[in-house]
Structure formats: C-alpha cells, structure tokens
Structure 1
Amino acid sequence: MPDWSYQTIFRPGLFRLPARRARGLTLRAMRNVSLLPGGTLLIKTLGHMDPAPILASRLSGTTLPTPVGLSGAVDPEGIAARAIAQLGFGFVEVGPITPDPITDASPIRMDRREETIVYPSAYENVGAEAALRRIRNPGHRLPQLARIAPMPETNPEQAIDELRSLVDRFMNESRVSALIIEAAAQGRSRDENERILRQIASCIREQPASETAILLYIPLELPETQLAALVGAADPETWSGFFIGDYTNGPAGATVGRTGKAASVAKLSAIRAQAAGTPLLFASAGVHEPADALDLIEAGADYVLLHSGFVYSGPGLPKRVNEAIIHRKLAQAELPAGQSFWRNWGWMCLLGIGMIIGGIIAWFIASTSVLLPYDEAFLRMTWDEVNAIDPHLLHFMSHDRITLAGTMLSIGILYCQLAKHGLRYGVHWARVALLASGAAGFPSFFLYLGYGFFDPVHAAAAIVLFPMFLLAMRRNPDRLNRDPVNLRNSLAWRRALWGQLCFVVVGAALCVGGIVIASVGVTNVFVPEDIRYLGMARESLDLANPRLIPLIAHDRAGFGGALFSDAVMILIFALWGLRQGAKWMWWTLLWGGAPGFVAGLSVHFMIGYTDFVHLLPAYFVFALYIAGLALLYPYLMRSEINGAVSSTSGG
C-alpha cells in the first residue's frame, strides 16, 4: 500500500469508516499480504524502501538501520509488524505497556482538516504479559523499544511499585534495545515526579549489567519548570537519554497530531541546553511530512517516530523522511569522483542509440515494402504474390512491424535517458530498470524459433547489442542521490501521486499486454479480431503458404517481447524513480512513450483495422499516459523545491 495507492484509492474509503474499524482493516490487510509467499518481497518491490547504510546508527549494543521509528499506538497489538518492518523504519516502539491490560471501546475520532487523532485513552494496551510475548516473537528483525508506564491515576507509591516490577521484567529482555520509562506524569507535582525518578533510578542501578538503553519519558505537556528539574535530576550514568511524548490531554481524550510539533521542538531545544553531556533524544510529535522530521532533528532530536503522520501522509512517509535525512547528510559531504563515460554509462547510451536507429529503419521498411529480401526468400513468394493471397495481409504484417518499430524507439529513448541521468550517477533504480528490461528483451529473440523462422537481421542486432548491455552493467556501483527531495505534502505532491498511479497502471498494463501478445504469437498467432480483419481463417492462410504463419508469428512474438521489455522499464520508473523537480523524468516519459503510442494507434487507422474492442486497451493506456503526464507536470517540472534549486541532471 504505497502512497500512490494509499492517498488515491484506499485513504478516501478508509477515512469514511469508523477509525477503529479502518485501522483494523488496514493492519489485517497488510498482515495478510506479508504472510503470502513472497509477500514481504512484494511490499519491498512496490515501495523500494530498503534503507541506505549511511542512515544506520548504534543504540547501546544495537544497530538501528534508520533514525525513523514507528509509534506503538499505530499498531498496538503488532498485527502488521512483519509488513510494517519493510517500509523503511529503523525501529518500532512497543507501548505503552502497563501491568494490566487497558481497554476502551469508545470511538477514536479524527479531524482530517487539522490532521489529528483523538484517543479516548492514551494508555490502551494489551498489558505486560501479552506485550512481553510480542517482544519475544515480533515477526520482524527491527530493534524494539519498550515503553513502560504505571496504571493511570495511581498514587506515587503505587507508581513506584508498578514501575519497579516492569523494570525487573523488561530491562534484561534481550529483544528490548531501549526501555522507555514513564517516571513523570503531567498530573503530579514536581516533588512527586522527582521522588519517583530517584526511586526508579535506584532500581535500575540494582539490575544486572545490561546493554539496554534507558530513556526517561517526557510528557509533551510537562511544564518547563518541571522539565528543567527532571533533566537536572536525571543522572547521565543511569539515563541514556530522553523520549518526548506525542499527545496532549483534553476533555475529549488524548490528542495526537501535527500541532504537537511546536511543543516537541521547544522541549528538544530546552533539553539540549540544560542536560549534561549529549543524551540521546527521541521525538514523536507532529511528523506529517519530511520537513517536520528535519525540524525536530535541527532542534536536537537524534531519532524521530511516526504516529499520526503515518496515518495521514501514508506508508511512504518513512522512506521520504529517510531520503530527506540522507540529502542533508550528503550536502555536508565531499562530492565523489566523476563517473567514467565508458565504464559507467556510455555503452548503455550506444545501445539506446542502436535501438533508435533500428526502430527508424524498421518503421521505414514496414511503411513501404514491408517484406525484406530474406522474408521473400523464406516464403518463396514475391511481394505481389503475397498481396494476391489477401489484400489485407501485407497491411496486417505492416501493422505488426510498425508497432514493433515504435516500441524499439521507445526502448532506445529510455535506455539513453536512464544511462545519462541514471547509470551516470550510480542511481540504483535506474540500473535495476535497465537490467530488468535487458533480461526480458534479449531472450525474446528465441520466442519465435520454434516456428522455424530465423531472422538474420534480428540475430545480427542481438549479437552486436548484447555485449554493449553486458559492458554497461559491469562494475557500476550504486551511489546515493544528491538532488533535492520532496519535503512537503503539497498540492503538487498529492496530484503527482495520481500521476504516479496512472503510470504504474500503464506499466503494469503494458507488461500484461506484452506477455499476452508474445503468448499469442507463439501459440494461436491470431486473435478473433485479426481473422475478421483479414477475412481469412488461419487454415486458409496455411493452405496458401505454410510459411506465412511462422513469419507472422515471428513478428508478433518479437513485438510482444519488446513491449514487455519496454513496459518493465516504465513500471520500475513509475514505482521507484519519480523525484520532485527532476525535469528530465517528465521529458523522458513524454518522448519515451510517444513513439509507441503514435505507431500503435496511427497504423491501425492507416490500414483500416479500427475494431473498437481490439483498440480499447490501447485507448485506455493512452488516456492514462496523457493524464499521468498532466498530473506529474507541476511536480516534476518545478525548478525550485522548498527553496532549493533542483538539478536536472541527477537521478
């Protein structure tokens, strides 16, 4: 459920349901997908969210893959933990955890305009026993942070006893990387909070030596005077850092939303100014777009957690935050050495140029003579003799060959662009797109050999181009993107998600189309609409010349294989590549798609093959192509992103 499907399809429907039901449906659906064979791979493929090593950090004895975590309230029972772990998070919070379960069936309310969530109780949870079972069997490999708290409205003595018991149970649990302790509460006096803090610190020191980081929970609404006292009383030898909460209490319940960011920023700045040493700081309020996370980090946060922002912005938010953090880190790093033309991208450029030249020649021949000398030699018939069999036969063959030529032009343009703007800069997704396209395209040469027709020109082209492909794919390491990234949930971003959805459907539809056409080419060769256009049954063609079917099958199978090769590239481009301000991407989609659609649609009208059912898939995909370009235009063609000028040469 990436952003392009969540924001456009699922969120509008889910937000019309009661919040509890919507949350349950979403989490169960994610869990069910992750439990399917290859389900987690599918989630990774759709989002391409594997974090870069540059994001990793150490928390006590644990490596956190990214500084972005998930709040425990998003999935309080860990239903979709396996799926959520694939979305780019570096850790997950389990909590709050109280000694006994706390349930509240009252509705969870949401204000879409303010982007807030109001829980009837901030402490709904399954209790310590169930939480411990979940921590020991999480269903994923991400580090876990356990947040423990006493039962609500307990007096200080009860709170101390309950927290001591929870510390005993969770501090030495090997699957807990950090223990977050709610020793301070909004409703207690300063003296009471400090007394609880001292008692719990004493309890921690009594525990066996442990690598578990110990974090002091700071309520978001804690007064500044109490904050200063707690920070001063927190011994750095006992407390590894502070964890700032994300909810505010009111008559309606506990409110979580983007409005909490200002208070979180203020507390981060105050702790950094007042605390001894350099404690770890976790912040979990108000991150609804990447810019919010950067603001918290600028204020002093080492780690951020997503809660309401994950619900309102979508499952792609952790990836977007990771990209924003990477961009900030790279802005301060030294530029790497330039890429070699021949080693990194030149061979793929030549391969693309070769495909373009081949496509132009094929289009010219298919629009004029249609048949090549070796075609006539294979058929043992001249052009006039073939035309005498059926006046539509050469038109039909021309239609197959022109559509193939248009697809070759499209592939060539995409190869050149992805080489220049992708391989040249070590962009991972571009390399994968080219690799997948070549892996699909070159073997398609063998699809039609079973019919006994050998195309010497096609074979010669493959012999020349395949080494270029191998040379382009060798010794080409991935590099991190240095171009500006999207930081805001702007209108252009929201519209671009619709445009991305259009191109994902275009890529997927063309993949299916390529497979179907290739399958027809190597089996029945014709569909019923073809037979109606020709006015001859397959058997009649076979009687006229038994070599006609193999020749036509060669054209169909070749076109199907080329279309699939092209479609794979478009699909990966749409899924992984789109980046705000990258103008080259919009022009690539425009010029990369145009030859295929011009060839595929124009030739049908030129030869009079205008069967509506036959052309309906092409009309549908073309409409999505135009809509996608229009919706993506403001997002991809803006020169300025959040005040930074975008380069048009990076990936």
Structure 2
Amino acid sequence: MPDWSYQTIFRPLLFRLPSRVARNVTLKAMRRVSRLPGGTLLIKTLGHMEPSPLLETSIANVPAATPVGLSGSVDPNGIAHRALAQFGFGFMEIGPVTIKPVGGGKPIHNDTKGELLSYPDEYENEGLMHVQERFAEPDHRLPRFFRVSPMPAARTDEAVDQLRMLMLALRSNNATGFHVDILDSQGGIALNVRLLERMCAMIHRLRLDDDFRDPALLRIPLDYPPEEVSFLLSQADLSVWAGFVVGEALPQQETDRAVEIGRSGKPYALSLVRQLKASALPHQSIVAGAGVHEPQDALDLLAAGASHVLLGSGLVYAGPGLPKRINEAIIYETIKAEPAPESPSFWRHWGWMRLLGLGMIVGGILAWAIAASSVVLPYDEHFLAMSRDELSRLNEHLLHFMSHDRITLAGTMISIGILYSRLAKYGLKDGQHWARTAVFISGAVGFPSFFLYLGYGFFDPLHALAAIVLFPMFLLAMRRNPDQPFRRPVNLRNDPTWKRAMWGQLCFVALGASLAVGGLVIATVGVTQVFVPQDLTFMETTRETLRAANPNLIPLIAHDRAGFGGALFSDAVMLLAVSLWGIRQGERWLWWTLLAGGAPAFVAGLSVHYGIAYTDFVHLLPAYFAAALYVIGLILLYPYMMQNPRPESAYTYERPVSRGK
C-alpha cells in the first residue's frame, strides 16, 4: 500500500477500526503479499524503493543500506518483516523483549489529530521463548537489533542478570546487536548509576568469558532529565557502548507503564540527541526516531547529531513511503553542494529516445491525416482487391468505422511520442532510473505488438518499416545509461498540498492500470473475435456478412484493432510507471508532460466517435471514466507539481517543558 493508496483509501478505513485490529489487518495483509511468488518484487515495484549506494552507512560498525531503521513498535511480533524490509529501511529493531511475557490485550488509543498513539504498557511483548521461535529464521537481509529489557520492577541484580540471559539467548536468532533498555527515568539518579555500572561490568565479563562481540547500544528514555543524563554519562564507562538509542515513548502521568508515542516526542529527542552528541565518542552511533512523521523531522534529528533514525508512529500516520521520502531527502542534502555531472551528449543515449519520440509524433500526425481523409492506403486496397469507393458502397458505415480505429491509434501514437520525447529530455538525460525503466518497459511491450496482425495473414509494410527504423533508436537509447541521483529539492512536509497530490497520483495510477487492461482487452479482441456487439450495431451488419462480402476484410480490420490495443497497452504501462515513480513536488515538466501526453489520445478517441456518430454510451463509458481520472488527476497534482518544495532550515531546537519528572 504505497502513500497514494494509503493516504486516500486505506488509512481512512483502517483508522475507523480499533487500533490493534487495524495493525493486525495491515501487517497480515502485507505478510500474505510478501509470501506470494514475486510478492516482494511487487512491493518494490509499487514503491521503487531500492536504496541508493549514496545512503550506505554503518550502525555500530555494522553495514546498513540506509540510515533509516524500523522501530520495534511498528511490528513487535515480526508478522510482516519480510514485506517491511522492502520499504527502504537499512536496519530493524525488534522488541522490547523480556524474559517472560508482559501485558497485552488492552486497547491502543489513536489520536489522529495530534498524531499520537497511546499504548497501555511500553514493555508489552510475548516473552523470550516466543520471540526466539518467531525469529528463528531470518526472512530478510537487514541487520536486526533486539531491544532487550528487564522485567518491570526487577531489582538491580535481577535486571542485569535478565539482560545477560536475553543477550546470550538471542545471539542464536541472528542478532546483529542489542538496544539495552536498562535505565529508568522514574527511578532516580542513584539507582540508574548502579544499574549502569553493573551493566558495564557485565558486558565486560561477557566479552572476556563468552567471546561476546555483538555491539550493544544504550537506550536513553525519551523523558530522562537532561541534568541526570549529563551526570550519568560522566560516571559511565562509555567505551562499553557502541552507541546510544534515544527512546520514542513519553509516559502518561496517570498510569504506571502506559506511554504515548507520536509527534510530541520530537523536541525531547532533539534535546537528547544534542546532549549525547556532545558526550559520545567519535565511533559511537546515535539512533533517534521519536516524532519522525515527515522527512523534515528526520533531517532535523540528523542535523542535531543523530547518525540514524528509527520510524515508528510516523509510518502509521504518513504511510509506507516515508522511508523512501527520507532517503531521498538525505541524498539531496548529501549532494546538493556538489557540482552536477556534465550532461551527456545528445547522441550518447537520450537523444535517440528523443528522436524516437519525435518519429512517433510525426507518424501519428500522418496516420491521423490519412485516417481522416482517404482512410485506406494503396496496399490496403491491394490486399482487399477493392477500391475505397467499393468499400463505401459495400457498407456506408464501414469506412467510418475503420477511420475511428485508425484515428484512435494515431492519437495513441502521438501520446507515446510525447512521453518518450519528454522523458528522454528530462529523465534519461539526467540518468533517472525510473524514467529509463518506464521507457524500457513501454518499448519492450510496444514493439512486439506491431506484429500482432500477422496472425490474420495481413502484413502491413508501413508498420514494419516504422519498426525497422525506430527499434534501433530504442536500443541505442538504452545503452550506456548509468543511474544518477535526483539532484532537485524534494518534498519534506506532509502538508495539505502533498495530501491532495496523493489523490491526484491515485487517479493517474488508476488511469494507467485501466488503460493497460483496456489495451490488453482490445488487442485480445483484435486477434480473436475482432468486433464487440456495439461495433456491429453501429455498422448495421454482421460478421458473416462482412466475411461473405470480402474474406480479407476482417483480417484488415483486425490488424487495426490489434495494433491499437498494443499501442494503448504500451502507452498505458509507461503512464503507469511514470505515475508510480515519477510524481515529485516541483516537477513542472512532468505535469506538462502528463497534460500534453494524454490530450492527443483523448481528443482523438472522443472526437472521432462523435464525428462519425458512434456514441453508444456503454461503448464510450470506459473513455469517459478514463477522461475523468485524467482531468481530476491533473487538477489535484497541479499545486504540488508546480510549487517548489519550501526551503527549510537545518533544524529548529526548542527545549521541551518538563512533564513533572
């Protein structure tokens, strides 16, 4: 469920359910998809979330594909880790994990306006034994950090012993490292000093006696008083720890272990991150994630000194595209000061695709002109052994019907040409992987469709010539085309403009999918039964009558239908790819491309039907539906794609007020 479907359809529905039910439904659905053959590929394809090499980092000296991790609060039981691993994360947190089960069953409250989740017990989990069973075999390649916690109210020695048992037991579960949750923000400084001293001594013994080399990061409660953090760090042996993890939960004052996780935690996290950055050793990682609900939140924490961020409640409110959006923001911040690479020459690769697009536009215009005048070409008349006038006398609607097929094909050709030409200039030229993939898929399905008509025994020399001329251009455009990072500012806020754009993107995704289905149906009809009932009603004839009049007539019409279906499918899959991967804030060129690319196809299809009085409502209903999606999608996307992302300061720091601790 990408953001364009989550924000528009799934989130409103899920938020009407009890929170636990909504979470289970979502995670189990993702799990089922990921377990299907090709399921993980489908998830990757919908979001195009493969991390860039520019994001590669390390957390506690463990390689990670990105600095964005998944908090254990999202999927505490590991139901959908296989699916979530495809979202663009670099590592995963699992937990909390305690020796015995803790809590469970009470409602989780969802404050949608405040973007705040209230959990009845911060340490709720199924216990060590169940965690070991669930995570016995890894179902993804991401590093796994277990958040280990002592049982609530455990005494100092018990707490340290329990953590030792947890860390040794979970080593066999392919643990990459541990987030050690031993500090108690409500326990007082003396208690926490003792806990930390005992924990440091225990880890030293583990490394000496058990050859324990797994990195351990100390978890700092989000509401820990800053003056106590400073004192605690001054007393601790920092060399024991590979880094620090800033908690994401704030305690609810009226209950013992109930906590709030959400947007309100961000200022607390910023404060702790800055304090930890001042005390941490150079090699130590600082992981924080409280209140990361949009890309700017992550940038703020990173600018404050965090090396990595964890996504928890933000994934619930912003949607599954949040990791990708944060990754894109980090890439832009990383490379924005670097000089852009030299633009490739016209003839290196992208220019050939631009020429191919221009060729399709010219060919479509010529085909439209012919279809609107003589309709048939000399080789058509030769194949039928009939002249244009004889065809007109055979059935007064026949030429109109053939013209309607050929004009719709011409409009689709122009549409394809515009998309190819524009994606070449603004996508392929800049080394954008999504643009190259879009035109590659379109060409891969489009060129073979030129020859669908051969099954009926009709060879179209003009189509064959076009394929011979254009196909080498396609191959030349696909060569020596390395990927380059996106170098323009990206969206950082979940503002109303972005949310409306998700509806616009949904319209275009639905349009691309609908046209793809329509293209397949038309192509299938073209190579099988050729006509739908409305066609024969319009021409006031039957299939048998046409076959009896000229046995070559149906193959000629089938060639038009199959060619149009193939071209429409090629156009649709490219539009679908553009809609899935290319929609970004401030990309004016793409909005104009969508406008210009769709207009010829819709004008051709609707104008010719009304021009020849073929206005059967059922026949035109798919076209009306597609046109509505097209217009509404453009309107909703206009503010987002025409407006540049707002420049943001590195971060805004404001010390949170005390919660009475």
Q: TM-score range by the shorter chain?
A: over 0.9
Q: Which residue of 1 aligns with 2:459?
A: 454
Q: Which residue of 2 aligns with 1:141?
A: 141
Q: Which residue of 1 aligns with 2:551?
A: 546
| 1:583-629 deviations in Å (ceiling 9; x for gaps) | 00110000000000000001000001000000000000100000000
- SS in structure 2 at match of 1:145: strand
Taking the aligned partners of 2:281 and 2:365, their CA distance within structure 1 comes to 71
Q: Which residue of 2 aligns with 1:556?
A: 561
Taking the aligned partners of 1:430 and 1:516, their CA distance within structure 2 comes to 26
Taking the aligned partners of 1:17 and 1:610, their CA distance within structure 2 comes to 45
Q: Which residue of 2 aligns with 1:522?
A: 527
Q: Give the gaps of 5 or more residues in structure 2.
A: 650-661
Taking the aligned partners of 2:215 and 2:430, their CA distance within structure 1 comes to 39
- The one-letter code matched in structure 2 to 1:65 is A
Q: Which residue of 2 aligns with 1:120?
A: 120
| 1:112-134 deviations in Å (ceiling 9; x for gaps) | 11000000000111111222333
Q: CA deviation at 1:333?
A: 3.0
Aligned runs of 1:182-197 on 2, under 5 Å?
182-197=181-196
- The one-letter code matched in structure 2 to 1:162 is Q
Identity of aligned residues (%): 58
Is 1:393 the counterpart of 2:398 in the alignment?
yes
- SS in structure 1 at match of 2:135: helix
**Counterpart contact for 1:59–1:213, Cα < 8 Å:** no
- The one-letter code matched in structure 2 to 1:149 is S
Is 1:609 the counterpart of 2:614 in the alignment?
yes
The change in CA–CA distance for 1:51 and 1:640 in structure 2 (over 3 A counts) is closer
Q: CA deviation at 1:54?
A: 1.1
Q: CA deviation at 1:643?
A: 5.4
The change in CA–CA distance for 1:136 and 1:234 in structure 2 (over 3 A counts) is farther
The change in CA–CA distance for 1:277 and 1:428 in structure 2 (over 3 A counts) is closer
Q: CA deviation at 1:495?
A: 0.3
- The one-letter code matched in structure 2 to 1:27 is L
| 1:171-207 deviations in Å (ceiling 9; x for gaps) | x447212211112111212121111111111111112
- Name which of 315, 323, 326 aligns with 1:321: 326
- SS in structure 2 at match of 1:93: strand
Taking the aligned partners of 1:496 and 1:511, their CA distance within structure 2 comes to 22
**Counterpart contact for 2:262–2:291, Cα < 8 Å:** yes
Q: Which residue of 2 aligns with 1:59?
A: 59
Is 1:71 the counterpart of 2:71 in the alignment?
yes
Taking the aligned partners of 2:60 and 2:188, their CA distance within structure 1 comes to 32
**Counterpart contact for 1:78–1:138, Cα < 8 Å:** no
- SS in structure 1 at match of 2:347: helix
**Counterpart contact for 2:492–2:645, Cα < 8 Å:** no
- SS in structure 2 at match of 1:500: helix
**Counterpart contact for 1:3–1:314, Cα < 8 Å:** yes
Q: Which residue of 1 aligns with 2:265?
A: 260
Q: Which residue of 2 aligns with 1:271?
A: 276
Q: Which residue of 2 aligns with 1:181?
A: 180
Is 1:428 the counterpart of 2:427 in the alignment?
no
**Farther off after superposition, 214-223 or 268-277:** 268-277
Is 1:94 the counterpart of 2:105 in the alignment?
no
Taking the aligned partners of 1:369 and 1:643, their CA distance within structure 2 comes to 60
Aligned length: 643
Aligned runs of 1:375-390 on 2, under 5 Å?
375-390=380-395
**Farther off after superposition, 359-368 or 243-252:** 243-252
**Counterpart contact for 1:59–1:177, Cα < 8 Å:** no
Q: Which residue of 2 aligns with 1:25?
A: 25
- Name which of 607, 625, 629 aligns with 2:634: 629
Is 1:619 the counterpart of 2:624 in the alignment?
yes
- The one-letter code matched in structure 1 to 2:593 is T
**Counterpart contact for 1:98–1:128, Cα < 8 Å:** yes
Q: CA deviation at 1:210?
A: 4.0
- The one-letter code matched in structure 1 to 2:216 is I
Q: CA deviation at 1:235?
A: 2.3
Q: CA deviation at 1:640?
A: 4.7
Q: Which residue of 2 aligns with 1:220?
A: 222
| 1:225-257 deviations in Å (ceiling 9; x for gaps) | 221122223323211111000001112520001
- Name which of 284, 289, 293 aligns with 1:288: 293
Q: Give the gaps of 5 or more residues in structure 1.
A: 645-651
- The one-letter code matched in structure 1 to 2:188 is S
- The one-letter code matched in structure 1 to 2:278 is A
**Counterpart contact for 2:78–2:135, Cα < 8 Å:** no
| 1:319-353 deviations in Å (ceiling 9; x for gaps) | 11111111111113342232121113100000000
Is 1:109 the counterpart of 2:109 in the alignment?
yes
Q: CA deviation at 1:278?
A: 4.5
Is 1:475 the counterpart of 2:480 in the alignment?
yes
Q: Which residue of 1 aligns with 2:657?
A: none
Q: Which residue of 2 aligns with 1:574?
A: 579
| 1:2-44 deviations in Å (ceiling 9; x for gaps) | 0101110011011011101111111111111111111111111
- SS in structure 2 at match of 1:176: coil
Q: CA deviation at 1:274?
A: 2.6
- Name which of 239, 243, 259 aligns with 1:237: 239
| 1:81-113 deviations in Å (ceiling 9; x for gaps) | 111111111111011111101122111001111
Is 1:443 the counterpart of 2:448 in the alignment?
yes
Taking the aligned partners of 2:162 and 2:214, their CA distance within structure 1 comes to 20
**Counterpart contact for 2:177–2:214, Cα < 8 Å:** yes
Taking the aligned partners of 2:90 and 2:52, their CA distance within structure 1 comes to 11
TM normalised by structure 1 equals: 0.97
Q: CA deviation at 1:154?
A: 2.1
Is 1:360 the counterpart of 2:359 in the alignment?
no
**Counterpart contact for 1:586–1:636, Cα < 8 Å:** yes
- SS in structure 1 at match of 2:95: strand
Q: Which residue of 1 aligns with 2:655?
A: none
Taking the aligned partners of 1:493 and 1:275, their CA distance within structure 2 comes to 37
Q: Which residue of 1 aligns with 2:654?
A: none
Q: Which residue of 2 aligns with 1:10?
A: 10
**Counterpart contact for 1:438–1:469, Cα < 8 Å:** yes
Taking the aligned partners of 2:107 and 2:288, their CA distance within structure 1 comes to 27
**Counterpart contact for 1:145–1:179, Cα < 8 Å:** yes
- The one-letter code matched in structure 1 to 2:26 is T
Q: CA deviation at 1:279?
A: 2.0
Taking the aligned partners of 2:174 and 2:59, their CA distance within structure 1 comes to 13
**Counterpart contact for 2:60–2:215, Cα < 8 Å:** yes
- The one-letter code matched in structure 2 to 1:443 is P
Is 1:593 the counterpart of 2:598 in the alignment?
yes
- The one-letter code matched in structure 1 to 2:425 is K
Taking the aligned partners of 2:540 and 2:150, their CA distance within structure 1 comes to 82
- Name which of 293, 302, 305 aligns with 1:300: 305
**Counterpart contact for 1:2–1:47, Cα < 8 Å:** yes
| 1:409-447 deviations in Å (ceiling 9; x for gaps) | 000000000000000000000000000011011001221
- SS in structure 1 at match of 2:244: strand
- RMSD (Å), alpha carbons: 1.3
**Farther off after superposition, 256-265 or 235-244:** 235-244
Taking the aligned partners of 1:641 and 1:354, their CA distance within structure 2 comes to 39
- The one-letter code matched in structure 2 to 1:202 is A
- The one-letter code matched in structure 2 to 1:229 is F
- SS in structure 1 at match of 2:448: helix
- The one-letter code matched in structure 2 to 1:159 is A
**Counterpart contact for 1:272–1:278, Cα < 8 Å:** no
Q: CA deviation at 1:61?
A: 5.3
Taking the aligned partners of 1:381 and 1:529, their CA distance within structure 2 comes to 26
Taking the aligned partners of 1:58 and 1:639, their CA distance within structure 2 comes to 32
- SS in structure 2 at match of 1:574: helix
**Counterpart contact for 1:60–1:212, Cα < 8 Å:** no
TM normalised by structure 2 equals: 0.96
**Counterpart contact for 1:93–1:146, Cα < 8 Å:** yes
- SS in structure 2 at match of 1:337: coil
